[in-house]
Chain A
Amino acid sequence: MSNQTTAVPSKPAARPGALAEFWHYFSMNHGAVLGLVVFALLVLVAIFAPLIAPHAPNEQYRDALLTPPMWWANGTSNFILGTDAVGRDILSRLIFGARYSLFIGVVVVTFALVSGIILGLLAGFFRGWVDTVIMRVMDIILAFPSLLLALVLVAILGPGLFNAMLAIAVVLQPHFARLTRAAVMAEKNREYVVSARVAGAGNIRLMLVTILPNCLAPLIVQATMSFSNAILEAAALGFLGMGAQPPTPEWGTMLAAAREFILRAPWVVTFPGLAILITVLAINLIGDGLRDAFDPKLKRS
């Protein structure tokens, strides 16, 4: 190990101080820090949802159907953001919904990242027919508009949160495969890889231990962007009735059920969308910050 690190001074793996330097650049971007704070708050809300939420998310208050938010004429402080068509507290549902959105992001990105990296490594490392087959399949996936493909996949698998996540992961995964492949091809013939090979490292070791850590930066940025994409697409599928199924308090699903009330009870429509927007925005801010911190060109200018 130590041999390799010394052999490649230009390509440092985690050097002490690198992290501090990274944080330095990242924290210069105020937007990114703001995004991080909001995101941290969301995570806390999700974890402590049962403690924070004023009501159970699925408790139906049958005598308080479609109560407006507390600052409206007929609102009550008992239901701060009002209630939905069957009398459930919207605030509580949003709070529990944060769990689903973050969960969707994590699962989808993990899925897409792992499968994308594996495929990308195989394609970039072995080239030849392996590369051709993998990249053609990726091309096919990318030829369909993502939402349309996800819709058809969910229609095949059956509507539901898990299937929606699976479909979104499939749709997002080619981006990771392409990125990894490009990075691997760029790195493969570098000195440090060649010397590792000469030192007798096997293919798997070469791929995972030697090359992969050096391709991480773009993957991390892509993962952040995919995280927010996953939340958006899951919400869109939920909105079209193909995502999480009621009574799950997933935000997109809440919006779908609220659609018939746009005239009569706009709050049922407004808040879930706002929650999606804030979450996605926070993550994208972080993503921007990460990219700037990783990208030496922008640092310089």
Chain B
Amino acid sequence: MIKKLTFAAALAAATALGGVAANAKTLVYCSEASPAGFDPSPWSGGNDFDASSRTIYSRLVEFEHGKTSLMPGLAESWTVSDDGLEYTFKLRPGVKFQTTDYFTPSRDLNADDVIFSFERQWKKESPWYSYLPGTGWEYFAGMGFPDLLKEIVKVDDLTVKFVLNKPEVAFLPDLGMDFASIVSKEYADQLEKAGNLQQFTQKPVGTGPFQFVDYQVDSVIRYAAWDGYFGGRQKIDDLIFAITPDPAVRAQKLKAGECNIMSYPAPADIAGLQADENLHVAEQEGLNIGYMAYNTTVAPFDKVEVRRALNMAVNKQAIIDAVYQGAGQAAVNPIPPTMWGYNKDIKDDPYDPESAKKMLDEAGVKDLSMKIWAMPVSRPYNPNAQRVAEMIQADYAKVGVKAEIVSYEWTEYRTRGKANDRDGAFQLGWTGDNGDPDNFLFLLGCEAIGQSNYAIWCNKEFEDLLQAGKKTTDQAERTKIYEKAQEVFKREAPWLTIAHSKVFMPMTKNVVGFEMDPLGIHRFDGVDIAE
């Protein structure tokens, strides 16, 4: 009897919703880590963005799905003053904030929300600036916004003007980034009045495609399609993040049908997932590089011949096979081949232990023993640095170089790696923030020594090209400059360029409309489940 009643109630509810399919369409995403919170701005992890900014929130401008080009978001249109100092945005009228069981908005999105979204990360006198103990608003600061912004002016309810201190070509793309998501001032005011600021990051309210339903710490996040989304209601009804840190377990769950789509499969599992007839494995070249930087200031690594000989001693293809399990390609240049400005004509140092040995002999290097540094964590550009180190160690042994593998705790690792007198070759990598070659090549600039230049390499010729590239606006011109820079890089060999990894996204075959994002974001708007 009770069963009948509940069924009838469910049926009634379904019809009341206006003929929505009787079975709610649910998409389950096996994600790799718990989000730190649901405020889109304070954090910097991809998993944080997936769970907050890309699902619940929207921004003034948006990246096109699967691309790095911009399109209007909450701003319908914008104008830039001739001196590049004033950006005026016309907001889309009638944008609704999500109605949840903890907040009911009384008004649509307006300029106040936009100003609040930025000022809370900027103005120290705002209670919201420090509402999360110890938050640094790292991205806002990292993109230089505190110095860049002069003021944000409300022209009228639907018009906002950003005034800058200096021109910045990347300002618009910056506004498409996660930290620039627009939050509700009305909601914030309510919480401030109630003295419950913490709720802002625990129970989020945005204007995005999905609204927050529930979060069980470290296990499940639930979202529902937001009926009032200005981009149109999503085809799926429920979106679930099943947080599953172990990649092998994620793969198991996908195979068992416990989730529809998963992030970051272990390289070892990819072949098995591809072979599964119920699954489809989407793939994309990653915008990244895994490398090993020599310390070019310490003998004998200050000699180009020694660095090149060591490069030639390493069997890169074997590393790609064993560590990346084929999910990557041997890297030649410090920028990935999918990026404009990539120099296709450069040939990689060949794998040739014989010649390598001879070159070392000629350089007067005998009985060299050195250290190979291995990151303690798995990164997209290098799934297993320990294993890479073991393989390089074995390769080096064949040319008479004895290597010892060292590793430290992740922050300690990077701190020690920056030391000018660091002993040994240092593995690390980089994932691009945007599609610009400078975003990779700056890693080798003279200014980056002590920051991100782990080769401690300052080459006049390379540096001049790097600076020239920054000042030039014409892309064809810049392409030439960067192609030249890559030649210098290869000739001087401050790094062993190891690999550009591929990024995979396995999903069940009934998932349609999922697009892989070049910047590694996982977006679920526009995704549907075929019947």
Q: Do A and B share a direct contact in the complex (Cβ within 8 angstroms)?
A: yes
CB contact between A260 and one of B247, B322, B386 (< 8 Å): that residue = B247
How far, in Å, is B322 (CB) from chain A's closest CB?
5
Do residues A246 and B386 form an inter-chain contact, with CB atoms below 8 A? yes
Q: Is A54 an interface residue (CB 8 A)?
A: no
How far, in Å, is B248 (CB) from chain A's closest CB?
6
Q: Is B175 an interface residue (CB 8 A)?
A: no
Q: Mark A254-274, 1 if CB is under 8 A from B, else 0.
A: 000101111111000000000
CB contact between A263 and one of B252, B322, B409 (< 8 Å): that residue = B252
Determine the main DSSP class of A at the interface with B. loop
CB contact between B251 and one of A155, A159, A263 (< 8 Å): that residue = A263
How far, in Å, is A107 (CB) from chain B's closest CB?
21
CB contact between B269 and one of A246, A247, A264 (< 8 Å): that residue = A264
Q: Determine the residue in chain B with the shortest Cβ distance to A62.
A: B318
Q: Give the CA-CA distance A87 to B247 in the complex, in Å.
A: 22
Q: Is A218 an interface residue (CB 8 A)?
A: no
Q: Is B365 an interface residue (CB 8 A)?
A: no
Q: Tally B residues with Cβ within 8 Å of A.
A: 26
Q: Is A50 an interface residue (CB 8 A)?
A: no
Do residues A60 and B405 form an inter-chain contact, with CB atoms below 8 A? no
Q: Is B376 an interface residue (CB 8 A)?
A: yes
Do residues B269 and A86 form an inter-chain contact, with CB atoms below 8 A? no
Given that A85-B387, A86-B391, A259-B248 are known contacts, is A65 also in contact with B321, CB under 8 Å in the complex? yes
Do residues A86 and B322 form an inter-chain contact, with CB atoms below 8 A? yes
Q: Is B452 an interface residue (CB 8 A)?
A: no
Do residues B248 and A86 form an inter-chain contact, with CB atoms below 8 A? no
Residues of B within 8 A of A261 (CB): 248, 268
Q: Give the CA-CA distance A263 to B247 in the complex, in Å.
A: 11
Do residues A86 and B405 form an inter-chain contact, with CB atoms below 8 A? no
Do residues B405 and A257 form an inter-chain contact, with CB atoms below 8 A? no
Residues of B within 8 A of A59 (CB): 394
Q: Is A245 an interface residue (CB 8 A)?
A: yes
Q: Is A58 an interface residue (CB 8 A)?
A: yes
Q: Mark A70-99, 1 if CB is under 8 A from B, else 0.
A: 000000000000000111000000000000
Q: Give the CA-CA distance A69 to B247 in the complex, in Å.
A: 25
27 residue pairs of the A-B complex, CB under 8 angstroms, read A58-B390, A58-B394, A59-B394, A60-B394, A62-B315, A62-B321, A85-B387, A86-B394, A155-B409, A158-B408, A158-B409, A159-B407, A247-B390, A247-B393, A247-B405, A257-B386, A259-B246, A260-B247, A260-B266, A260-B268, A261-B268, A263-B251, A263-B268, A263-B269, A263-B272, A264-B271, A264-B272
List 10 A-B pairs, minimum CB-CB distance, nearest first.
Answer: A260-B266, A247-B390, A62-B318, A60-B394, A260-B268, A86-B322, A246-B386, A264-B268, A261-B268, A260-B248
